[in-house]
Amino acid sequence: MLIGVGLGPGDPQLLTLKAVETLKNSDMVYVPGRLAADLVEPYTDCKILDFPMTKDNDVLNAVWKNNADIVVEQARNGTVAFGLIGDPNFFSTFSHLSRVIHEHHPDINITTIPGISSITSFASKADVAIDTSFEVSDGTDIRSKIVLKARRPLEIVDSLTRDGFDNFIFAERLFSDEERIIKTREDIPAKGNYFSIIYAKKSTAESAEE
């Protein structure tokens, strides 16, 4: 099993209890660099895997595949944690690693533990309150959207479909006993509540430009 562990923005006090517990209990811990290694080292030994910053796709693919093979070898026989700065599902090395492992080793079970991301870290440090809709971009096309307070999920899905979105996830009361996560559009309920979220994605770049 492989667990992507969010280590937060760099402050050693901003790891979650669950992150610390997972680091301590894993058979092997990998990180992508020195900053992450420094956050992990109070709890366990770790190995740094090299992820060079290049735009050369051939080099990148070879590195992803090589690192995926290293991690998978351990993950087949025990619990492997991969610790990284911020959150593992948010513009993260881990998402790429996870995608390559899914492609080449679909039998490996992969989960993630959220970490405090640069977005909420920024809001805190800069004393900025974000309380209206906003955009996060890395310069690529906008292809996904998160709607909070999704009290009428189906209406939201219908409206986003008209805007070209074609993939939807409904999530409610996450990390509680009443958690619900629905990934098939047909099963998304008409009614949500205050603790409901809709995630929408445009599956192709073409539809993103329509």
Ligand X SMILES: C[S@@+](CC[C@H](N)C(=O)[O-])C[C@H]1O[C@@H](n2cnc3c(N)ncnc32)[C@H](O)[C@@H]1O
CB of 184 to ligand X, least distance (A): 28
Q: 76-79 — which CB contacts under 8 Å span 24+ positions? A: 76/108, 77/27, 78/1, 78/26, 78/27, 78/28, 79/1, 79/3, 79/25, 79/26, 79/27, 79/28
Q: Which of 90, 152, 167, 199 binds ligand X (CB under 6 A)?
A: 90
Determine if 118 is a binding residue for ligand X (CB under 6 A): yes
Determine if 10 is a binding residue for ligand X (CB under 6 A): yes
Stretch that binds ligand X, among 46-54, 66-74, 114-122, 156-164 (CB under 6 A): 114-122
Which is closer to ligand X, CB of 86 or CB of 153? 86
Alpha carbons 88 and 91: distance in angstroms, whole number: 8
**147 within 8 A of 200, measured Cβ to Cβ:** yes
Phi, psi of 36 (to 5 degrees): -65, -40
Stretch that binds ligand X, among 21-29, 62-70, 82-90, 158-166 (CB under 6 A): 82-90
Which is closer to ligand X, CB of 7 or CB of 80? 7
Write the DSSP string, 61-89: HHHHHHHHHHHHHHHTTS-EEEEESB-TT
Q: Which of 67, 92, 98, 196 binds ligand X (CB under 6 A)?
A: 92
CB of 121 to ligand X, least distance (A): 6
Q: Which residue, judged by CB position, is nearest to ligand X in the bound state?
A: 86
Alpha carbons 200 and 178: distance in angstroms, whole number: 22
Alpha carbons 21 and 15: distance in angstroms, whole number: 10
Q: Which of 2, 3, 9, 196 binds ligand X (CB under 6 A)?
A: 9
Which is closer to ligand X, CB of 90 or CB of 195? 90
Q: Could you list the residues that contact ligand X (CB under 6 A)?
A: 9-10, 85-87, 90-92, 117-118, 121
